[in-house]
Structure 1
Amino acid sequence: MKTIKGPGIFLAQFLSDQAPFDTLDHLAEWAAGLGYVAVQIPCTPQLIDLATAAESQAYCDDLRATLDKHGIVVSELSTHLQGQLVAVHPAYDSLFDGFAAEQMRGKPAERQAWAVDQVKLAARASRRLGLDAHATFSGALAWPYVYPWPQRPAGLIDEAFAELGKRWRPILETFEECGVDCAFELHPGEDLHDGVTFERFLDVVDQHPRARILYDPSHFVLQQLDYLAFLDIYHERISCFHVKDAEFRPDGRSGVYGGYQNWVDRPGRFRSLGDGQIDFGAIFSKMAAYDYPGWAVLEWECALKHPEDGAREGAPFIKNHIIRVTPHAFDDFASSGTDSSANRALMGLDPQAATITGTLSSGEQ
């Protein structure tokens, strides 16, 4: 079994133009001071020159050296914003335009091509940084039709996923060439938002081995999906892990859809670690049992608590939940040391077998 790596912290929610949140160097020093050992880096020009990182090993070595002086490594790169722009329904064009480089805004076709190139660059940068996985969003063409009213025309969702697969297939091939997993965060607003939609996507990309999952249980709480059963079903496809808490408290006025309310008033809302309802003890136990090889990374989002308090509390929370896996079975001391013929004799399958002479461990003598 493998021990989960961590704690790490996703930097996206902490970026600003004020120190210590303004540069990668300052953020690494800040994170290390809180007890984190890794950072998940969003691919924004403020933190990484993605085009240079994709082509220059020297640049990537310098980036790692900047982090190393603080005792920090990179857990993953993230292209959540760029991945979103790989597939945008026209209803969201103006809202998502701000995710793109300024020169691409108002130009949907050029914006999409730019986004595809950005995610491919991130795959190459990840390889140069020695990373195994990458975090992103799928984007969405079908999301406006998530609720089946008015009745959806036959074939609409099939067509949407066929197009989504067509757009992502060449990107996944780049990740395959780089030896890096492309982990989609299953998130409302994305066409890939639960297990069923992820399976549908796998079908249109021929079960591509690099199409993976970023597991974030908070999004499943808000959808009322069983986040522990999800691990039993999809653990082999999970390559990234956001440790984020949430709660769901429906009442007589509002439920899963939230009534267009602000986050603080919605029945389902994100919380800082330990303030929500998620059973992280069970999650970390399952991930240890399933040999999850990656990082446990805090993603801070909370409608109530200050982000710096959430970050400060997050490192010890994750550290205390990581299970250092045992190198041997707890009952090895009681091993009888039997062999195949002795086992057959125990079941009466070989009456002529030699007498069983169990070998007691030194602890029993």
Structure 2
Amino acid sequence: MPTTMKGPGLFLAQFAGDAAPFNSLASITKWAAGLGYKGVQIPTWDARLFDLKKAASSKAYCDEVKGICADAGVEITELSTHLQGQLVAVHPAYDAQMDGFAPPSVHNNPAARQKWAVEQMKFGAKASRNLGLNASVSFTGSLAFPYLYPFPQRPAGLIEEAFGELGKRWKPILDVYEDNGVDVGYEIHPSEDVFDGATFEMFLDAVGGHRRCNINYDPSHFLLQQLDYLEFIDIYHERIKAFHVKDAEFNPTGRQGVYSGYQSWTNRAGRFRSLGDGQV
């Protein structure tokens, strides 16, 4: 069976730190290559590893970044804008938590924080183009997730209004990705408004079926929701442009099931992916 799979890749976000070898792109990529990884997904919010604004405007800087990775023996698979994407849409209930994803200059100012996030997302499109990448990965953010459980009963039209606003915020961003020939693979994830296939379809409708609105497939998030993660591929394979791989087990007890158990798993899980052509 023909394949373009090249080897394992690693999302660097959870490993970046202030101590060597995790405090610079040159050293962390050599560390990753030494463990056998062939690709790296770069978190664009971590200045120790990457300057997103500079990458959006400077092809020379992007060539330098690619050279650092090549010297270490790895390729860049995608840029990650998970944290900035999260801030495109924030329910007020999450304001305190989400300020930690943004620079201090926009803390306690949701409008300024959102404006910063939108600019960052657009930088991500241009930086991906300058790096020669055709896909990136992100989150949708959340306006409706606090209303996930249908009690107390939601006012009629609340979810539709939230997804309408989500689409309104993302459509201009996706247009910039279209201009730059880059797909956005949204990680479908609890705490995001887009957390399963049905909500992805609602979001896709809200952005007018935009061809750059795609999926970063991570079956671990589906297993923990007790969703059929293999049938998901059958249904949405044309929209899957990237993927993450990590272990997950659903182990309900008499004390906890899907909801409280999810957080304990999140705190200890790694986030990994395989390096291929961006499709499963």
Q: TM-score range by the shorter chain?
A: over 0.9
Report if the CA contact (8 A) 1:136-1:185 is conserved: yes
CA RMSD of aligned residues (A): 2.0
Q: Is 1:21 the equivalent of 2:22?
A: yes
Q: Give the C-alpha shift of residue 46 in structure 1.
A: 1.7
Q: Give the C-alpha shift of residue 262 in structure 1.
A: 6.1
Aligned partner of 2:204 in structure 1 is 202
Q: Give the C-alpha shift of residue 227 in structure 1.
A: 0.6
Report if the CA contact (8 A) 1:182-1:212 is conserved: yes
Secondary structure at the counterpart of residue 241 of structure 2: strand
Aligned partner of 2:115 in structure 1 is 113
Q: Once the two structures are superposed, what CA deviation does each residue of 1:284-338 show, in whole Å capped at 9, x if it has no partner?
A: 9xxxxxxx73278xxxxxxxxxxxxxxxxxxxxxxxxxxxxxxxxxxxxxxxxxx
Residues in 2 aligned to 1:150 and 1:110: alpha-carbon distance in whole angstroms: 32
Aligned partner of 1:346 in structure 2 is none
Q: Structure 1 regions of 5+ residues with no counterpart?
A: 274-279, 285-291, 297-365
Residues in 1 aligned to 2:79 and 2:239: alpha-carbon distance in whole angstroms: 18
Q: Give the C-alpha shift of residue 269 in structure 1.
A: 8.2
Aligned partner of 1:167 in structure 2 is 169
One-letter identity of the residue aligned with 1:19? A
- Normalised by the length of structure 2, the TM-score is 0.94
Q: Give the C-alpha shift of residue 3 in structure 1.
A: 2.7
Report if the CA contact (8 A) 1:247-1:270 is conserved: no
Q: Structure 2 regions of 5+ residues with no counterpart?
A: none
Q: Is 1:8 the equivalent of 2:12?
A: no
Residues in 2 aligned to 1:166 and 1:262: alpha-carbon distance in whole angstroms: 30
Q: Is 1:84 the equivalent of 2:86?
A: yes
Larger Rg belongs to:
1
The runs of at least 4 aligned residues of structure 1 exceeding 3 Å deviation read 268-273
Call closer, same or farther: CA 1:56–1:272 in 2, change over 3 Å: closer
Residues in 2 aligned to 1:198 and 1:272: alpha-carbon distance in whole angstroms: 24
Call closer, same or farther: CA 1:262–1:121 in 2, change over 3 Å: closer
Q: Give the C-alpha shift of residue 73 in structure 1.
A: 1.1
Identity of aligned residues (%): 59
Aligned 1:31-70 pairs, distance under 5 A:
31-43=32-44, 44-70=46-72
Secondary structure at the counterpart of residue 212 of structure 1: strand
Report if the CA contact (8 A) 2:240-2:279 is conserved: no
Residues in 2 aligned to 1:252 and 1:269: alpha-carbon distance in whole angstroms: 21
Call closer, same or farther: CA 1:40–1:223 in 2, change over 3 Å: same
Call closer, same or farther: CA 1:272–1:12 in 2, change over 3 Å: closer
Q: Is 1:294 the equivalent of 2:275?
A: no
Call closer, same or farther: CA 1:294–1:6 in 2, change over 3 Å: farther
Aligned partner of 1:139 in structure 2 is 141
Residues in 2 aligned to 1:159 and 1:49: alpha-carbon distance in whole angstroms: 35
Residues in 1 aligned to 2:67 and 2:277: alpha-carbon distance in whole angstroms: 24
Secondary structure at the counterpart of residue 189 of structure 2: coil
- Normalised by the length of structure 1, the TM-score is 0.73
Q: Once the two structures are superposed, what CA deviation does each residue of 1:120-145 show, in whole Å capped at 9, x if it has no partner?
A: 10110000000010010000000110
Q: Once the two structures are superposed, what CA deviation does each residue of 1:17-75 show, in whole Å capped at 9, x if it has no partner?
A: 00011111011100010011111000022211111100111000011111111111100
How many correspondences in the alignment?
276
Report if the CA contact (8 A) 1:140-1:190 is conserved: yes
